[in-house]
């Protein structure tokens, strides 16, 4: 028997749906199973050139001399581009609405470094050659002289006056402040004040598919880039960087072999566009694993300090949180990631008196940007461990402490935003812990512990970014359905969900729905596959479009059958009378009748997220996100106190997903995100020394194999209160957020001492155990 039992759920009365919620075979699944799905690197074109990116081997240096002449002279090399050759092109972010930061969020990143390099692996030149082998030989003929510059590799050092300047004037690339209530009064009221500092490291996305793309100029002079990307809309900043009009760049996104935020920024697109433009031939660029690890962003390392005042009852009276992130060599999305951490820094708890100071700091480390959770997992590691530390000091059960403080619907977040939807924290925590069952007994040197964490994580983008998404739905003359949406599919079933929604609304089996997606020329723009927004935004847009078409169909049938619309329904590719289903019309026939009448069987709909102004720059108060997902994660671990090694014996995840669109996909996301979080907790050690990654391949940077963790027990709950279609919430990022602190909590339960940093290596575990013995 576990020491917790599941808290009963309130009745939800969710309507029965025919296809929504069922674990139907996804529209993309079979192509992937038989190997016919084409990924970006699988694509070839006639007379295609092969590209390589020549990169800096210094983390902080001046480029004194760059000589590409030998490379250019190599037979078979068609083009070598340096910064001067591309008019010092810059990549600027196209995110509107920046306040509260010290610097523009639109970071100006030189496409190719000129005069100075700021991180190891920074691109300096582009090479295009007839074969990959020639391109690689040309790489070795590039001639560079560097003059090393003092670098800085720790954000705390980089903040000090006199530190080497990576980003002028003072390395601070983002700042946020939150001030709520009266912190000093809150601390004065406290019976106990507890202070702790937590440290979390880089994490590498390690998607199985390295970055890849092919670009060519089509017959109308449009630079077309077929690329593995999370963002179709990058065509705007690509156009600017390359010096062409926005309507002369076309992005054709392929099925992405894993993104997780690592393909959220521009990766290979601009290199491809520049090379295609300069050579007038198709060009392919595929990264090796090492180029991928050196070449793209990482999760932000953070130092987070919590100072919390509590009453003996466990009630939090005040909190002061200091947050510093390592933004690396270029800002990219750092100010936004920092915002997420600040907004979610308290965790899902009522904190009426709060002071948060957050800073993102530039260093010569690899640049950091989006990674599943976007600052949320880092915040969660800190706040959940802090809660456990408080519980230990108060000698309270960790769940009891949380119950005193958990937010409820109607409470406000750190920025004063009212939580509108269900906040099933105790419901998920008790279920996750209950699923672990009785603790496995200790034996020999093995000590067993159980622990859980609760979290909240936003879904949908920051509301002052005025997010929109468009989707087009139409019925063909044979009754099949077509969806067109810009949505990039990262493998989480983004495209399939839209199909399943259209299928439900139009009463057509999923197999008869087809989707065209991710083409900036021909599919309506649906926005980024980031921020756990696609189901919410594009799902709603698709729901709107499909509903518009449904209305037209039902109106026509109602005239045909002389029945009111309320007595009609669509299912199994038919329109029928609910009270007498033997009166029906095949959808194909209905479509033809509508077309003959000139009734429009297609609809393009735009869904808009709520638009708000930015939060107050001094107090951080104001609504930030459309909604939040709540949940919990529990783990049982066995710690070998001799070796320091940790084995996860059991893992359970419980999240309120609002409403599952495809149950198998939801459970898969929950399990997979959790495992990625367990990897972050236990084995993903990106070792960076003086800015150089010492773990540049999957031999050194270890991600979980199937032997590392047991199958997760997934308990997906449906409150139906989400703002997505059918009451859905988002789960893509939330699934990762709570895993690491749950492990840390279980380890602390096992060995009696808490470890405040990740990953929980054997060395750290032994040091903690040794420390306890002393």
Partner 1 sequence: MLPEFEFLRPHTLPESLAMLADQAPEVVPLAGGTNMIVEMRDGHSSPKRLMDISRLRELRGIRRNDAYIVIGGGTTITELLGHPLIAEHGRALREAAAMLGNPLVRNRATVAGNLANASPAADTAPPLLALGAEVELISTNGARWISLDKFMVGVNKTLIEPNELLASLRWLVPHARSASGFYKIGLRKADACSVINAAAMVVWDESGYCRHARIAIGAAAPRPVRAHAAEAALLGQPLTKDMIDGAAHLAAQVTEPIDDIRGTAAYRRRMAELMVRRLLTRIAECRASRRES
Partner 2 sequence: MKPEVVSLNVNGCVHHVALAPNVTLLTALRDLGYTDVKCGCEKGDCGACAVLLKMPGAERAEAVNSCLVLAWQADGAGITTVAGLGTAERPHPLQAAFADAGAIQCGYCSPGFIIAAKALLDRNPHPSEREIREAIEGNLCRCTGYGHIIEAIQIAADKLSAEKGGAQ
Residues that bind partner 2 (CB under 8 A): 23, 25-26, 28-39, 41-42, 205-210, 255-258, 260, 286, 288-289, 490-493, 664-665, 667-669, 671-676, 697-699, 703-707, 709, 711-712
Residue 674, binding choice from partner 1, partner 2, none, Cβ under 5 to 8 Å by partner class: partner 2
SS3 750: helix
> Cβ closer to partner 2: 24 or 429?
24
Q: Residue count at the site for partner 1 (CB under 8 A)? A: 24
> Cβ closer to partner 2: 23 or 96?
23
Do 572 and 506 form a contact (C-beta atoms < 8 A)?
Answer: no
The count of other CB atoms within 10 Å of the CB of residue 17 is 14
Shortest reach from residue 119's CB to partner 2, in Å: 23
Question: Which one of residues 38, 188, 687, 772 is an interface residue with partner 1 (CB under 8 A)?
Answer: 687
Residue 668, binding choice from partner 2, partner 1, none, Cβ under 5 to 8 Å by partner class: partner 2
> Which region, left, alpha or beta, applies to residue 466 given φ > 0 means left and ψ of -120 to 50 means alpha?
left
The residues with which 450 forms a beta bridge, in sequence order, are 636
Q: Which two tokens stand for residue 662?
A: 């495809």
Residue 208, binding choice from partner 2, partner 1, none, Cβ under 5 to 8 Å by partner class: partner 2
Interface map 708-747 toward partner 1 (x if CB under 8 A): x---------------------------------------
> Cβ closer to partner 2: 136 or 352?
136
Binding of partner 1 at residue 706 (CB under 8 A)? yes
Do 747 and 390 form a contact (C-beta atoms < 8 A)?
Answer: no
Shortest reach from residue 247's CB to partner 1, in Å: 38
Residue 163: which residues within 8 A CB-CB, separation 6 or more? 152, 157, 171
Residue 642, binding choice from partner 1, partner 2, none, Cβ under 5 to 8 Å by partner class: partner 1
Residue 134: which residues within 8 A CB-CB, separation 6 or more? 50, 74, 75, 76, 77
In angstroms, the CA 647 to CA 740 distance is 14
Shortest reach from residue 708's CB to partner 1, in Å: 5
> Cβ closer to partner 1: 53 or 83?
53
In angstroms, the CA 473 to CA 484 distance is 6
Do 53 and 271 form a contact (C-beta atoms < 8 A)?
Answer: yes
Binding of partner 1 at residue 702 (CB under 8 A)? yes
Shortest reach from residue 677's CB to partner 2, in Å: 10
SS3 336: helix
* 360-368, 480-488, 736-744, 761-769 -> range binding partner 1 (CB under 8 A): 761-769
Q: Which two tokens stand for residue 537?
A: 């935004």
Binding of partner 1 at residue 766 (CB under 8 A)? yes
> Cβ closer to partner 2: 86 or 227?
227
Q: Can the peptide bond before residue 122 be classed as cis, meaning omega within 30 degrees of 0?
A: no
Q: For helices 534-561 and 494-506, what crossing angle results, to 10°?
A: 20
SS3 270: helix
Q: How far is CA 687 from CA 149, 336, 405, 684, 693, in A?
A: 22, 25, 37, 9, 6
Binding of partner 1 at residue 707 (CB under 8 A)? yes
Binding of partner 1 at residue 690 (CB under 8 A)? no
> Cβ closer to partner 1: 135 or 557?
135
In angstroms, the CA 216 to CA 227 distance is 11
Residue 170, binding choice from partner 1, partner 2, none, Cβ under 5 to 8 Å by partner class: none
Residue 694, binding choice from partner 1, partner 2, none, Cβ under 5 to 8 Å by partner class: partner 1
In angstroms, the CA 100 to CA 664 distance is 41
Question: Which one of residues 512, 704, 753, 757 is an interface residue with partner 1 (CB under 8 A)?
Answer: 704
Q: How far is CA 21 from CA 25, 390, 666, in A?
A: 12, 40, 9
> Cβ closer to partner 1: 567 or 695?
695
The span from the first CA to the last CA of the chain, in angstroms, equals 35
Shortest reach from residue 673's CB to partner 2, in Å: 8
Shortest reach from residue 743's CB to partner 1, in Å: 14
> Cβ closer to partner 2: 204 or 569?
204
Residue 284, binding choice from partner 2, partner 1, none, Cβ under 5 to 8 Å by partner class: none
Tracing tokens 């040197």 back to the chain, one arrives at: 445
* 311-319, 524-532, 682-690, 735-743 -> range binding partner 1 (CB under 8 A): 682-690
Shortest reach from residue 30's CB to partner 2, in Å: 5
Do 361 and 155 form a contact (C-beta atoms < 8 A)?
Answer: yes
> Cβ closer to partner 1: 12 or 131?
131
Residue 664, binding choice from partner 1, partner 2, none, Cβ under 5 to 8 Å by partner class: partner 2
Binding of partner 1 at residue 699 (CB under 8 A)? yes
Shortest reach from residue 133's CB to partner 1, in Å: 5
Q: How far is CA 681 from CA 210, 305, 600, 630, 764, in A?
A: 23, 19, 53, 20, 12
Q: What is the 3-state secondary structure (H, E, C) of 201-215?
A: CCCCCCCCCCCEEEE
Strand residue runs (E) in 445-512: 446-459, 468-475, 481-485
> Cβ closer to partner 1: 59 or 129?
129
Binding of partner 1 at residue 700 (CB under 8 A)? yes
Residue 321, binding choice from partner 2, partner 1, none, Cβ under 5 to 8 Å by partner class: none
Do 89 and 243 form a contact (C-beta atoms < 8 A)?
Answer: yes
Contacts to partner 1 from residues 119-148, by CB under 8 A: 132-133, 136
Residue 687, binding choice from partner 1, partner 2, none, Cβ under 5 to 8 Å by partner class: partner 1
Binding of partner 1 at residue 683 (CB under 8 A)? yes
Question: 520: closest CA among 764, 224, 296, 291?
Answer: 224
Shortest reach from residue 137's CB to partner 1, in Å: 9
Shortest reach from residue 173's CB to partner 2, in Å: 29
Binding of partner 1 at residue 705 (CB under 8 A)? yes
Residue 711, binding choice from partner 2, partner 1, none, Cβ under 5 to 8 Å by partner class: partner 2
* 9-17, 193-201, 309-317, 641-649 -> range binding partner 1 (CB under 8 A): 641-649
The count of other CB atoms within 10 Å of the CB of residue 169 is 8
> Which region, left, alpha or beta, applies to residue 280 given φ > 0 means left and ψ of -120 to 50 means alpha?
left
Residue 26, binding choice from partner 1, partner 2, none, Cβ under 5 to 8 Å by partner class: partner 2
In angstroms, the CA 735 to CA 680 distance is 13
In angstroms, the CA 481 to CA 506 distance is 8
Q: Which residues of the shown chain bind partner 1 in the complex (CB under 8 A)?
A: 132-133, 136, 642-645, 647, 683, 685, 687, 694-695, 699-700, 702, 704-708, 762-763, 766
């Amino acid at each position: 028997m576990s020491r917790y039992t599941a808290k009963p759920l309130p009745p939800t009365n969710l309507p029965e749906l025919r296809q929504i919620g069922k674990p139907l075979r996804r529209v993309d699944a079979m192509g992937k199973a038989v190997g016919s799905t084409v990924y970006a690197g699988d694509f070839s074109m006639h007379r295609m050139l092969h590209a390589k990116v020549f990169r800096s081997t210094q983390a902080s240096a001046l480029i004194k001399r760059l000589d590409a002449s030998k490379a250019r002279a190599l037979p078979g090399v068609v083009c070598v581009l340096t910064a001067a050759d591309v008019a010092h092109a810059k990549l600027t972010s196209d995110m509107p609405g920046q306040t509260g930061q010290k610097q523009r969020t639109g970071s100006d990143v030189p496409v190719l470094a000129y005069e100075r390099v700021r991180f190891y692996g920074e691109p300096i030149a582009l090479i295009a050659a007839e074969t990959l082998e020639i391109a690689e030989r040309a790489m070795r003929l590039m001639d560079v002289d560097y003059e090393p510059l003092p670098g800085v590799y720790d954000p705390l050092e980089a903040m000090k006056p006199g530190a080497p300047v990576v980003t002028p004037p003072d390395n601070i690339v983002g700042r946020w402040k939150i001030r709520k209530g009266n912190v000093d009064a809150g601390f004065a009221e406290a019976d106990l004040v507890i202070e702790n500092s937590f440290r979390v490291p880089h994490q590498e996305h390690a998607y199985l598919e390295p970055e890849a793309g092919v670009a060519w100029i089509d017959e109308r002079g449009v630079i077309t880039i077929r690329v593995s990307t999370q963002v179709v809309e990058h065509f705007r900043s690509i156009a600017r960087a390359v010096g062409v009009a926005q309507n002369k760049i076309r992005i054709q996104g392929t099925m992405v072999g894993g993104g997780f935020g690592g393909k959220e920024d521009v990766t290979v697109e601009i290199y491809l566009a520049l090379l295609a433009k300069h050579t007038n031939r198709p060009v392919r660029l595929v990264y090796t694993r090492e180029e991928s690890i050196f070449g793209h962003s990482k999760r932000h390392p953070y130092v987070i300090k919590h100072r919390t005042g509590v009453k003996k009852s466990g009630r939090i009276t005040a909190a002061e949180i200091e947050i510093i992130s390592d933004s690396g060599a270029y800002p990219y999305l750092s100010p936004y990631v920092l915002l997420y951490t600040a907004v979610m820094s308290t965790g899902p708890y009522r904190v009426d008196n709060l002071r948060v100071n957050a800073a993102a700091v530039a260093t010569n480390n690899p640049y950091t940007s989006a990674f599943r959770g976007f600052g949320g997992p880092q915040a969660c590691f800190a706040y959940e461990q802090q809660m456990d530390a408080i519980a230990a000091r108060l000698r309270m059960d960790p769940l009891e402490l949380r119950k005193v403080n958990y937010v409820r619907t109607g409470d406000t977040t750190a920025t004063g935003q009212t939580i509108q939807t269900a906040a099933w924290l105790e419901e998920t925590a008790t279920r996750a812990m209950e699923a672990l069952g009785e603790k496995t007994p200790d034996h020999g040197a093995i000590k067993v512990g159980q622990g859980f964490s609760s979290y909240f994580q936003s879904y949908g983008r920051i509301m002052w970014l005025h997010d929109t998404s468009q989707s087009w739905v139409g019925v063909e003359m044979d009754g099949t359905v077509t969806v067109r949406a810009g949505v990039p599919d990262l493998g989480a079933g983004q495209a399939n969900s839209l199909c399943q929604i259209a299928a439900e609304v139009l009463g057509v089996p999923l197999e008869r729905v087809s989707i065209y997606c991710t083409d900036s020329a021909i599919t309506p723009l649906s926005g980024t596959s980031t921020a756990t927004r696609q189901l919410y935004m594009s799902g709603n847009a698709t729901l709107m479009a499909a509903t518009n078409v449904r209305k037209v169909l039902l109106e026509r049938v109602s005239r045909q059958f002389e029945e009111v619309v309320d007595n009609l329904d669509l299912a199994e590719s038919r329109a029928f009378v609910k009270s007498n289903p033997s009166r029906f019309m095949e959808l194909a026939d209905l479509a033809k009748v509508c077309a003959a009448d000139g009734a429009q069987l297609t609809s393009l709909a735009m869904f808009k997220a709520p638009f708000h102004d930015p939060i107050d720059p001094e107090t951080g108060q104001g609504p930030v996100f459309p909604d939040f997902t709540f949940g919990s994660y529990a783990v049982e671990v066995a710690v070998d106190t001799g070796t320091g090694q940790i084995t996860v014996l059991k893992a359970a995840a419980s999240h309120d997903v609002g409403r599952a669109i495809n149950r198998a996909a939801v459970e898969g996301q929950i399990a997979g995100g959790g495992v990625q979080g367990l990897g972050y907790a236990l084995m993903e050690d990106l070792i960076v020394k003086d800015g150089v990654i010492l773990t540049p391949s999957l031999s050194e940077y270890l991600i979980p194999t199937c032997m590392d963790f047991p199958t997760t027990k997934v308990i997906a709950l449906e409150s139906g209160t989400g703002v997505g279609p059918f009451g859905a919430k988002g789960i893509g990022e939330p699934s990762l957020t709570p895993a690491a602190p749950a492990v840390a909590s279980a380890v602390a339960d096992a060995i009696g001492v808490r470890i405040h940093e990740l990953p929980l290596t054997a060395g750290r575990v032994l040091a903690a155990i040794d420390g306890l013995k002393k």
